[in-house]
Amino acid sequence: MTEQTTVIRPSAIVPARVARQVVAELESRDVGRGGVWSVSPGLWQRYDHPWDGTAGMRGTAKLVGTIGAVYGTPSKYDITIYRVTITSSGAEAGWTVEGLCDDALQYGDPTLASCPRASLPGAGPDPFRRKDQPPEGIGRRKD
């Protein structure tokens, strides 16, 4: 089985009031402190068990998945979840995109399904169309 990467569209927004709780709880469950999370701005990694290697190294712990997150968007203290990867080890253990996100978000009480979604802007004008040229299909003859 190979790893599975899913782009979350539209991206899930973790509101500021919840984002602080989630990040604080994930950091308190750091792999270096006997937890299963390794959290840095932009990337949250979930392991199957705490790191057990010598000198604080990973040891036999397997990465089950990662969550790609952008801090400070759409507003200053929000977090946007935009991509999730489940490793082959994670998939074999039964992890899913929703399950991984919900495991991280449980400390703030939302789920991936209940998070607000980013608004997607409409397509802008075609930068390659001449201003004097009508849009495709309008006023043009097809031969």
In-domain check, residue 137: no
Distance CA 31, CA 114 (A): 28
Give pLDDT, residue 119.
83
Mean pLDDT of the region 26-41: 95
The domain in which residue 36 lies consists of 4-105
Q: Is 76 part of any domain?
A: yes
Q: Is the pTM of this model over 0.85?
A: no
Residue 100, in any domain of the structure? yes
Whether 142 shows a pLDDT value over 90: the answer reads no
Closest Cα to residue 22, out of 13, 32, 10?
13
Does 111 reside within a domain? no
Residue 47 lies in a domain: yes
* Confidence label for 42 from pLDDT (cuts 50, 70 and 90): very high
Task: Specify whether the CB–CB gap between 102 and 81 falls below 8 A.
Answer: no
The β-bridge partners of 68 are 43, 83
Closest CA to 13 of 106, 98, 80: 80
| Between residues 72 and 119, the one the model is more confident about | 72
Average pLDDT of the chain is 89
* 3-7, 38-42, 100-104, 129-133 — most confident range: 100-104
Residue at 127 is within a domain: no
**Is 82 a member of any domain?**
yes
Contacts by 38-42, CB closer than 8 A, 24 or more apart = 41/69, 41/71, 42/68, 42/69, 42/70, 42/71
Q: Residue 74: what are its φ and ψ, rounded to 5°?
A: -75, -20
Percentage of residues in the chain having pLDDT higher than 70: 83
Domain count for the chain, please give it: 1
Adjacent-strand bridge partners of 38 = 45
